[in-house]
Protein backbone atom coordinates (compact mmCIF):
# COMPACT_ATOMS: atom_id res chain seq x y z
CA UNK A 1 0.00 0.00 0.00
CA UNK A 2 2.81 2.52 0.61
CA UNK A 3 3.89 2.08 -3.01
CA UNK A 4 0.40 3.05 -4.16
CA UNK A 5 0.14 5.97 -1.73
CA UNK A 6 3.39 7.38 -3.06
CA UNK A 7 2.39 6.81 -6.70
CA UNK A 8 -0.97 8.46 -6.11
CA UNK A 9 0.74 11.59 -4.80
CA UNK A 10 3.45 11.54 -7.49
CA UNK A 11 1.13 11.06 -10.48
CA UNK A 12 -2.05 13.10 -10.02
CA UNK A 13 -3.02 12.55 -13.67
CA UNK A 14 -3.63 8.87 -12.89
CA UNK A 15 -6.75 8.02 -10.94
CA UNK A 16 -6.10 5.34 -8.35
CA UNK A 17 -9.13 3.61 -6.87
CA UNK A 18 -8.81 1.35 -3.86
CA UNK A 19 -11.55 -1.16 -3.11
CA UNK A 20 -11.88 -2.67 0.32
CA UNK A 21 -14.07 -5.73 0.43
CA UNK A 22 -16.00 -6.93 3.45
CA UNK A 23 -14.86 -4.42 6.07
CA UNK A 24 -16.69 -1.38 7.37
CA UNK A 25 -15.55 2.23 7.18
CA UNK A 26 -14.28 2.25 10.76
CA UNK A 27 -12.03 -0.75 10.17
CA UNK A 28 -10.64 0.81 7.01
CA UNK A 29 -9.98 4.16 8.74
CA UNK A 30 -8.21 2.40 11.62
CA UNK A 31 -6.03 0.42 9.21
CA UNK A 32 -5.09 3.46 7.15
CA UNK A 33 -4.32 5.43 10.31
CA UNK A 34 -2.24 2.65 11.86
CA UNK A 35 -0.25 2.29 8.64
CA UNK A 36 -0.03 6.08 8.21
CA UNK A 37 -1.45 5.86 4.71
CA UNK A 38 -3.11 8.80 3.04
CA UNK A 39 -5.17 7.48 0.13
CA UNK A 40 -7.80 9.10 -2.06
CA UNK A 41 -10.68 7.18 -3.67
CA UNK A 42 -11.09 4.38 -1.13
CA UNK A 43 -14.33 2.56 -1.87
CA UNK A 44 -16.11 0.09 0.37
CA UNK A 45 -17.60 -3.10 -1.03
CA UNK A 46 -19.40 -4.56 1.97
CA UNK A 47 -20.83 -7.43 -0.07
CA UNK A 48 -17.50 -8.28 -1.75
CA UNK A 49 -19.05 -8.15 -5.21
CA UNK A 50 -16.08 -6.51 -6.91
CA UNK A 51 -13.96 -9.64 -7.01
CA UNK A 52 -16.84 -11.66 -8.41
CA UNK A 53 -17.68 -9.15 -11.12
CA UNK A 54 -14.04 -8.66 -12.13
CA UNK A 55 -13.16 -12.34 -11.72
CA UNK A 56 -10.40 -11.71 -9.17
CA UNK A 57 -9.35 -14.88 -7.38
CA UNK A 58 -6.23 -13.84 -5.43
CA UNK A 59 -5.27 -10.93 -3.21
CA UNK A 60 -3.83 -8.46 -3.61
CA UNK A 61 -4.73 -7.94 -7.24
CA UNK A 62 -4.13 -4.70 -9.10
CA UNK A 63 -6.28 -3.95 -12.13
CA UNK A 64 -5.17 -1.50 -14.80
CA UNK A 65 -7.82 0.35 -16.81
CA UNK A 66 -7.27 2.76 -19.66
CA UNK A 67 -8.81 6.23 -19.84
CA UNK A 68 -11.93 4.73 -21.41
CA UNK A 69 -12.51 2.35 -18.52
CA UNK A 70 -11.38 -0.75 -20.40
CA UNK A 71 -9.42 -3.35 -18.47
CA UNK A 72 -5.90 -3.45 -19.90
CA UNK A 73 -4.21 -5.83 -17.50
CA UNK A 74 -3.90 -7.14 -14.00
CA UNK A 75 -1.20 -8.08 -11.59
CA UNK A 76 -1.64 -10.61 -8.79
CA UNK A 77 0.54 -10.19 -5.73
CA UNK A 78 2.59 -7.28 -4.48
CA UNK A 79 3.94 -4.67 -6.85
CA UNK A 80 7.22 -2.85 -6.39
CA UNK A 81 7.45 0.86 -7.16
CA UNK A 82 9.34 0.02 -10.37
CA UNK A 83 6.80 -2.62 -11.36
CA UNK A 84 3.90 -0.26 -10.81
CA UNK A 85 5.61 2.50 -12.79
CA UNK A 86 6.28 0.12 -15.69
CA UNK A 87 2.60 -0.83 -15.79
CA UNK A 88 1.52 2.82 -15.66
CA UNK A 89 3.92 3.68 -18.47
CA UNK A 90 2.26 1.11 -20.74
CA UNK A 91 -1.10 2.84 -20.27
CA UNK A 92 0.12 6.21 -21.52
Q: 58-67, pLDDT tens digit by residue?
A: 899 999 999 9
On the question of pLDDT at 50 being above 90, the answer is yes
On the question of pLDDT at 92 being above 90, the answer is no
Question: Burial code of 15-53, b = ≥16 C-beta within 10 A, e = fewer?
Answer: ebebbbbeeeeeebeeebeeeebebeeeeeeeeeeebee
Q: What is the pTM of this model?
A: 0.88
Write out the residue range of the structural domain in which residue 71 sits: 2-91
Please count the structural domains in the chain. 1
| CATH number of the domain that residue 15 is part of | 3.40.30.10
Amino acid sequence: MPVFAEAQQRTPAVRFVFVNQGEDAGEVRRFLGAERLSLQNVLLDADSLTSTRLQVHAYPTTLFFDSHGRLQGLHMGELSAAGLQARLDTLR
